[in-house]
Amino acid sequence: MFLQTIDILGTIAFAISGVSIAMDKKMDAFGVLIIAFVTSVGGGTVRDVLIGITPVSWMTDITYVYVIFGATIFTVIFRQKINYLRTSLFLFDTIGIGLYTVVGIERGLAAGLHPIICIALGTMTACFGGVIRDILCNEIPVIFRKEIYATACILGGITYFILGQFPIPDNIIFMAAGSIVITVRLVAVKFKISLPSLYKNEEPI
């Protein structure tokens, strides 16, 4: 129940971020809806397809469709006001990626995959919705360029497997790993930390 509430808050935050970007690109109503959808469920869809869980998760639980549809309509109507919610949305989004990361990891474990692959699946679940959104909007995915977003997921995933070495109850591990993702991202945004670009300019003479 608690987890499902978080999941839905995360879905809403992702959908709203999709709507905002799609509207900036002057898409029509259908385009906006699709981008909202893809941003919310894209990561989990890629994960499910790669592992072989089909039909993919959002197809078998209609709740997501309603939530995304509602969030899209709400955002379109109250677009001018949505800025006041910016902090809440950022929090939902951050909590959402924390949750998505751990869910992705557990799907990988259930499929019997190696821990490193599970961490990759958790990171995909949290991040690839945004990647597909950016591709559909004809941008280089933002997480490849400047946000310490994926890194937070990877650190959370590593935490998950380190704690798994000790006799700690599963749900504590779940919460701890998710919290690491959330904390790393909050700290990074607060202090404007980002990964270095690996590009070096030629030294000017």
Q: Which residues bind a copy of itself (CB under 8 A)?
A: 22-32, 34-35, 45, 49-52, 54-56, 59-60, 62, 65, 76, 79, 111, 113-114, 116-117, 120, 131, 135-141, 143-146, 150-151, 194-200
CB of 46 to a copy of itself, least distance (A): 10
Closest CB to a copy of itself among 12 and 22? 22
**Angle between helix 86-110 and helix 29-51 axes, rounded to 10 deg:** 30
What does R_g of the chain's alpha carbons equal in angstroms? 17
Q: How far is the CB of 29 from a copy of itself (least distance, A)?
A: 5
Cα-based angle 157, 120, 64 (whole degrees, multiple of 5): 90
- Which DSSP category does 203 fall into? P
Cis, peptide link before residue 55, omega less than 30° from 0:
yes
* Amino acid (one-letter) located at 172: I
Question: Euclidean distance between the first and final Cα of the chain, in Å?
Answer: 62
Q: How far is the CB of 169 from a copy of itself (least distance, A)?
A: 28
Q: Which is nearer to a copy of itself, 9 or 155 (CB)?
A: 155
Cβ closest to a copy of itself, residue 84 vs residue 144: 144
Q: For residues 79 and 168, which CB has a smaller minimum distance to a copy of itself in the complex?
A: 79
Tokens of 174: 């779940």
Minimum distance, C-beta of residue 172 to a copy of itself, in the bound complex (Å):
27
* Residue (37 or 174) nearer to a copy of itself, CB: 37
CA of residue 70 relative to chain centroid, distance: 19
